[in-house]
Each structure stands twice: as C-alpha cells, then as structure tokens.
Structure 1
Amino acid sequence: MTLRWRLTLSYAALLALTLLTAGFLSYQGIRQTLHANLDTALKAAAITAAHVEARPDIEPTPDAAEVLDMINNQNPIRITIFNADGRVRDRGPSRVGFTPKEGAQTSQHERVFMHPIPGGWVQASQSDAELIASLRRTRWQHALLLPGVLIVSMLIGYSLANRALRPIDQVSAVAARIARSGQPGERVPVVPGTDELAQLTRTINDMLAQLDIQLAHERLFAHASAHELRTPISVIRAAASLALEHDRAPDEYRHALTQIRAVSEDMSDLTDRLLCLARSAHPRHPAPVNLADVALMVTELHATEAGARQVKLTVTAGDAATTGDLNALILAAGNLVQNAVRHAPADSTVQIWSHASDGYAWFTVQDAGPGIPAADITRLLRPFERGTSSPAGAGLGLALVRTVVDAHGGTLDFQTPTAGGLRVTISLPTAVRT
C-alpha cells in the first residue's frame, strides 16, 4: 500500500471516529432536549389542571364538563384526575392507567407526568410516537451522512496527500535518474514557501550542487594525478629502453639505474602525497588536540632541514585546545613550516606560534621569503599548481593544508606583513566537533 493511501485511510479512520463520537453526542443531546421539552409541557398542563381542581367555585356544569372531556380526549396532552386510591375522579379516561409516583416516566408508548393534589393525583400524558419518529429520523440522517462525508473526505485527503507528496516523487525520480547516469547535474523543482517540503527540496538541490562540485574536483584531481604520474613513468621507461637497446658498460647501467631510482623516489613521494591528500578530507580519529603540541612537533621534525638551509626556527607554543585528527594536523602544519623553510632566505627566521582567542585555536607560520601574490593564492590552493618562484615539487602542499583545514571546519588565511615575507594562519574552532 502506498504512503498516499496509508495517509488517506488514516485520515478517514480518524474522521470516522470523530464523526461517530460527534454523532452519538449530538443524538444524546437531541434525545434529552426532546424529552425535556415534552416533560416541561406535561408538567405545565398538570399544574394548570391542579390549579383548576383547587377552585371548586369554577366547577363547570354537567353539560360544560362533557364538552371539556371531549376536548381533553382530542388534545394531544390528556389530563386525568385520580383519587388517592386510583379511581378516576374527573376528566379522563387515562390511556396508561394509574401510577402513584410523582414526576415524569414512560409507560405504554406514552410520556406521563404525575402531580399530587389534595386527595388525589393529576395525570398528564402524551404519546411519544412523534418524539421517537424524530429520533429515528435523526439516526437515519446520521447514518446516511457519515458514508458521504467519509467518501468526500477520502477524495479530498487523497488529493491533498498526492499534492503534498508530489515533491517527494520528483526527488525520487531525480535520484533514480542520477543513479542511472552517475551525473548529479539535474535539480529538483523547488516547492514555493517555507514549509518542510520546501526546505527539503532546497536542501536536496544544495546537496546535488555540492556533489557536482565534489565530482568535478575528483575528476580534475584524477586527470591531474594521471598527468603528473605519466611524466616519471615515461622517464623510467625511456631510461630502461635506452639501457636495453644494446650491451653497455657497467657504469652506463649504473647511471641508468640511478636515474630510474631517483625518478621512482619522486614518484613514490608523489603517490604518498596523493594518498595523504585523499585521506585528509575526512579526519579518521578526531580527539582533543592542542595546537601547542603540533607547533612543537613540526618544529622538531623540520629542525634538521632548517639548519641545513641556515634558517632559524623560533616557536611560541601557547595553549590552543581544539578537536581533530592529530596526524592530519601535524601533516598540514608541517607542510606550512616546510614551505616557509624552503622559501626563506639564509640567515633568516621562521616564526611559529600557537594561541587561543575568540573561540578559536590559532596556528601561525611566518617567514621572510618572497611571499605569494594575492592573485595566485586561490590557484595555488588547487592540487598540482606550483608557484612561479618554485616550479619544482608536486604542487600538493597547500592543497593538502586546505583540505585538512576544511575537514576540521577551520579557515586558512594568507597575509603579507609590511616587513615582507608571508604569514599563514590556521584557525580551528575550540568547540568539540561531534
């Protein structure tokens, strides 16, 4: 059974229960009202007759009494006067007999009201056939109205459910087409308004847009990776082919193998960086991390290279607690320090420090090198893009840093101090990421 019919039948069942309850309460109210109105009329007639009986001075003549009895017998409300022992004293005859009980009661399809008087009783009675007929008509009206209302409500309910669920059908159709084609370029028609379905369609479109961007980045990354790996593979094949063309001296073979080993090491380093870049998009072991520890670790890791280049490293490790993948953060921070060391002039200083403020943990690296033109920053954050001042390298360092920072919900900022050089800052939220 479809969701539309489940919703429609649920609405119909709820409406049927509501109508049955309302109909029962309405019927009981009508029944009580009709009985109350009849009892009120009978009581008034009985009290009026009792007042007449209490006035012997207005006792009618026998002829008048006979006429009054005829009128009484034709009146819907029949009045009968009884003695205390139950014998008819005046008017009558009674249609239901004598019952010495004050108040209203039902007897032999008649509604009866008994009113005591001195030395007897006044009985007012009327047939309840009209009352019963009115109640029967009410029951039939309710019985005939309920199915009609349910049928109309089911049609309206199904129409509303169909209209409400149409955007979900569109989402399903788009998702099915994307699953078949593998291309999330299509978008779901946006439902107007601000309700849940409108928010759903907008969220689905935002998700598809992000998938488009992600797939485009992955395709570009795959193409660029293949291009970067093609060159060293071609060099290895060419060196091996030349060495195998004819017999050569041992030194020539040694030279070819040395060249192949060097290119293989570069290719191994490139593949390692590619794996790091792919893994850094999703931190594997988020845990409490202090960027002060990261600053001390990367300083220790790159101290030897800095010494070889005659570059001094200074570190100010202020407390900067955050949450994330320690290894990924060390990898990102290490790339920044390594870039700073490689671009810093000899006898200069690379400053590294960490601190926390304004709800963020900060890690900063500043060097005295040539810096990066502002127009090139966006380009250099993409994989395999190299700076004009350093064409060597795979061009993955800053792309890896940006990927790690994005995965941790942080930001990456580049500044050029007035004194020269480049200052790169990572800011991460101090709140624990769930």
Structure 2
Amino acid sequence: MLQLTKQRHHKRDTTPQEGHSTFAKNLTPSMQGDRLILKAGGKVLENARWVMSRMARCEIFDPDEVAIAHVYTRVCRRCFLLGDDPFSGKNFDHRKVWIEEHLRQFASFFGIDLLGFSILSDHFHLILRSRPDVVATWSDEEVARRWLMLCPHRRTADGSPMTPADPEIKSIAGCPVKRAEIRQRLSSFSWWMRLLCQRVATRANREDEQTGRFFQDRYHATRLADEASLLACAAYVDLNPIRAAIAETLEQSDHTSVQRRIEALVEEAAVAREPCSEANGGEADDARSRRSTIRGDAFLSPVSIDEQFDPVGPCESASGKRCSDKGFLAMRAADYLELLDWTARQTVPGKHRTATGVPPILVRLGLDRATWCELVKDFGRLFCSVAGRPGCVDSMRCHRTHRRYHLRRRARELLTTSG
C-alpha cells in the first residue's frame, strides 16, 4: 500500500536580513572624475566604476570622409606574445616583424595612409588616415587588383600573393555590387585591422599549435579631431618604448615609425655626402632617385605638410609604396624629431632636461609644458571616442543619431585652461 506523506510547507521569510536595509539607506553615490564612488556607512567601496557602453564606430567614422584615427589592440590576457614571455620563457620578437611586414603591404594596397606605428610586446598602436578621395580616383580594374593582392586567390611557394589574372579582376570589376563594396573596404579602418589581426593570429596560433583567440578583443579607435590631438597622439605612439623603459633613445626604439624615419634621414644624409662627378652625374641622380623610393620609411606618410604650397587634392603616391604623398603635421621632420627628444626629456624620469624653452609648435598651438607632457603621457586615458579641444569636439555630432560626443572631464579641463 502506497503511503502518502504530507510535505510541510514552510512560509518563506520575507523579512530583510540584518543590515541590508541599513546598507541601502546609507549607500550614497558620487562622481570623482570618470569614476563612480560609492560610500556606505562612511566607507568608500573600491572597484566601483561607471560602466558605459562603447559607441559604435559607424557613429564616429563616416566612410565617405577623410578621418584620422588612433587604433590599438592587445593580445589576450595581456600576455607578452609579441616579445619576451616570462611564463613560457620564449621570445616572440619575430612576430613584431610579421606585423611590420603586413603594415608595409597594407600601406601599398589599401586606400589608407599609415602615419605612425609602435609595436610592443603585448599590444601595438597605429595612426591611420582613411582616404576615400584617393580610392574614388581608382578605376574598377585597379580596385579589383588591389583587393586581390590583399586577399589573393593564388599564392607563390613562399606565401606571397600572385599577380591576379584577368578573369579574377573581371569577376570583381564586372559586378557593380561587389565592386562598390570592395571600394568601400579599401578605405575602411575595420577591414585594415580585421585582416591584420586575423593573419597575425592565424600564424601565431599555428606556430604555438594552439586555437582560439590571440587578441583580447576588437581594436579600440579614437578619432583625432584637430592638430593638437594629432600631434599629441603621434608623440604618444612614438615615445611608447621609451615611456615603457624598453628603449633609452629614439634610435633604439625598435619597430616604431620614428625609428624608420630616423634611419631614412641618416641614409639620405649619407647619399648626399657621396661624391658626384660631372661624367656620371646623371647616373648618380638616377641612383639617388631609386634609393628614395626604397628608403625605410617609404611606406609611411611624410611628416611635413605645407597647406599654402602643397598641391590640393588626393596627391596619390607615384611610388606605389603608400596611398598618398600628403603629410600630416605643419612642421619639418627634423623639428618633429627634436620635439620628441624634448618631450622624452621632460616626461621620462632620469632623462637630462635641456634648458631650452617650449618648442615653437607648442607655442603656436597654445600648449604649455605641463599640459603637453600630460597629454603625451596619458593620452590613452584622457580620450575615448574623439580627441580634440572642447570647442572642436562639442561642435561635432554622431553620423547617425546626431548625438554629441563625450569628452572626459580631465581632458576638458586640461585643454580649456591651455586654450
């Protein structure tokens, strides 16, 4: 006989536990800069931060306009998978060479100018300028050829892309939908970073016999809205190895754009000192022109730009090593290197400070020494989606929702007082 036993139903205790109501009543939130400070019973709760969702990149960058961005990405779990890894005891410096090789290839085929870069052991920084105006001048066949060199259907034995055949080019050039999509991809930051991270991650995982993520997440992008933010970001990127105590001088900053520019200037000075006789003067000039096209910084955009005398328009590069020959700073390359050296002496502990005053470019931009040093040292913390002076950032709007961009409080205070 089956006996049924009564289950005793206990009434749920709905009274709050001791201390819960007191905790909720005494919880007082407040803002300290960009941090959310919670106080309970006079005690400050640590690790409490104001969490905001990251703005979509389509709100920041319009694919049809020229824009300059600072982008960076980190490897997973902040491991040193691009340099000396203390956990495995291995050295992965050769992966920095991989990244630089891809940067050279991308600079020659993408419709994007590479203004600067810095590759460290666990992350890398790039400064990119989209050039949809240059891509608009390319023919349909040129668009197809460049894309097939970036994503080839056939490769040689050493892995380099083979020259695309006519049927491959016509398969893209003859399709209006595919042609328009690829034309937009060639000036897209997202596709640049997508192909770069994908190829580095695939090659590194194959080398380590691993699978899964290699980079921590998608890249972070900050739009540079004015000249002051561009100059500060360029110095921030080029001085990364010195600030991280990896290198002591600009010349020793391996795998950076400033090192490539210095090497090119040294080589150019050596070529200029070569004797030139009248008999072989023409041959010497031809040799100099050939060396200028293969110089170490040929894939980088030139530093100097003269808005008064430089030609107006796309200025497409004839060398084929980069997208265009348009510079990005209103100063000579030598003056930019002097500014970097002066900044390093001001911001890095242990550096001998020179007695010279503030460089002329900072005087023209209205930046004093303290403001400039803080901008270069904490650029990544001061700005999120858009970097620039408050007046410039406040006048900009998102492309789809037309909202205002957020400028962090410290950046607003810093650039308002200096301006």
TM, length-normalised to structure 2: 0.20
Higher fraction of helix: 1
Higher fraction of strand: 1
TM, length-normalised to structure 1: 0.20
Q: Which has the higher contact order (CA 8 A, sep 6+)?
A: 2
